Amino acid sequence: MAEQKDTSAYWGDTHQHSDVSPCGGPEGKLSPAETFALMRDEYRHDFLFLTDHDQAIHDEQWEEIKAAAESETRPGTFSAFPGYEFTTEIFGHYNVFWKDGTAESVVIRTGDKPLVFGRRHPRELLQRLEPFADRVVVSACHPAMDACPNTWRVRHPLLRLAELCYAGGTFEAREAPLAIPGKARLYVQDALISGHRVSFIGGTDTHKLRSTGQEFHSLTGILAAENTPEALFAALKAGRTCAAVKCRTEVDLSISGTPMGGACSFTLDTMEEMFPLEIRAAIRPTVPLTHVELIHNGEVMDRKTFQSQETEPLTFSYTYENPYIWNSFTNCYDHFFYLRVRHEHGAIAFSSPVWVLFHAPGE
């Protein structure tokens, strides 16, 4: 893959519930251990983050979740992770992903009453997680959803991920393909334009998991060297992710050697060294492609169209050296690029962004 030839995409769900969560009633739900085992054995996921609602997790249930993650992990085949959904009443929802189930892995709840959505500000969540920064990362859930939108009021180094693909649709932008109807100006692209730096993931958010007959339309691909909890978590935290709906198409992007989730920067003095930008893309489709689009700051910068049943691995290189682009860079300090890959039958996949940052004199 582009700049990461020693990695593979491992696919799984970053938003899944067990019988610990009360939503949807108890009928047909599975225990944490059963949920991990089902995703591993029947649905052939490479990993799963279990994210039950925080206000439903008592201390003994948290111990059960952590123990299940440890017991159901199969190094090299399946990685199980403990997590939870920080479920606020007015500030949106945030998934907290822990690397493992050590004693440091704790549940910080939105309120003090069980089974009630709290009003604790996500800023407090992130501040209280700071001592464990090497073991935890946080995602903004279903950001523009009408029922519980994310207000994007918080910026923090631990808030590194956003749920772009969700339950068969996307929260990319209001007018984007497969867009889920929601609140204006709260989509992931809006957050990127406003300066948030988040990589992309996908989650199903199933509340009534069954052993048969279900499809998991929105998944996360983590580009890592091996399928172990350590390797997958490190790659997730670094933003080496792609997100997909109805496919498992691996999408990788790099700019001048900087991989997905990373940022390269320049000043007026180093502009000539930075440009032309060398943008490299690599795609491993699992269903036939129709379009590959390079997105720059919310606009389609390049589009490639496919008429054949293309499912072979593809690589592209883009070079941008037009002085007009240089001028646009100095007029807008933070720039982001990502790939949108469109397929037949409504399938879609995304790379995570790469940022190019301009530092003005005196900064």
- Domains detected in the chain: 8-245 (3.20.20.140), 253-358 (2.60.40.10)
Q: How far apart are CA 162 and CA 189, in angstroms?
A: 10
Report which of 138, 134, 185 is spatially closest to residue 163, judged by C-alpha positions: 138
pLDDT for residue 326 is more than 70: no
pLDDT for residue 314 is more than 50: yes
Q: How far apart are CA 243 and CA 126, in angstroms?
A: 24
In tens, the pLDDT along 56-93 reads 898 999 999 999 999 999 999 999 999 999 998 788 89
In tens, the pLDDT along 81-129 reads 999 999 987 888 999 999 999 878 888 888 766 555 667 899 999 999 9
* pLDDT recorded at residue 201: 98
* pLDDT recorded at residue 323: 52
* pLDDT recorded at residue 267: 83
* pLDDT recorded at residue 266: 85
HEC-encoded secondary structure of the chain: CCCCCCCEEEEEEEEECCCCCCCCCCCCCCCHHHHHHHHHHCCCCCEEEEEEEHHHCCHHHHHHHHHHHHHHCECCCEEEEEEEEEEECCCCEEEEEECCCCCCCCCCCCCCCCCCCECCCHHHHHHHHHHHCCCEEEEECCCCCCCCCCCCCCCCCCEEEEEEEECCEECCCCCCCCECCCCCCCCHHHHHHCCCCCEEEEECCECCCCCCCCCCCEEEEEEECCCCHHHHHHHHHHCCEEEEECCCCEEEEEECCEECCCEEEECCCCHHHHCCEEEEEEEECCCCEEEEEEEECCEEEEEEECCCCCCCCEEEEEEECCHHHHHHHHHCCEEEEEEEEEEHHHCEEEECCEEEEECCCCC
Please provide the average confidence, as pLDDT, over all residues in the chain. Answer: 89
Q: How far is CA 105 from the centre of its chain?
A: 21
Burial status of residue 154 (CB atoms within 10 A of its CB: 0-12, 13-18, 19 or more): buried
Q: What is the mean pLDDT of the segment spanning 206-234? A: 84
pTM of the entire structure?
Answer: 0.93
* pLDDT recorded at residue 325: 60
* pLDDT recorded at residue 183: 87
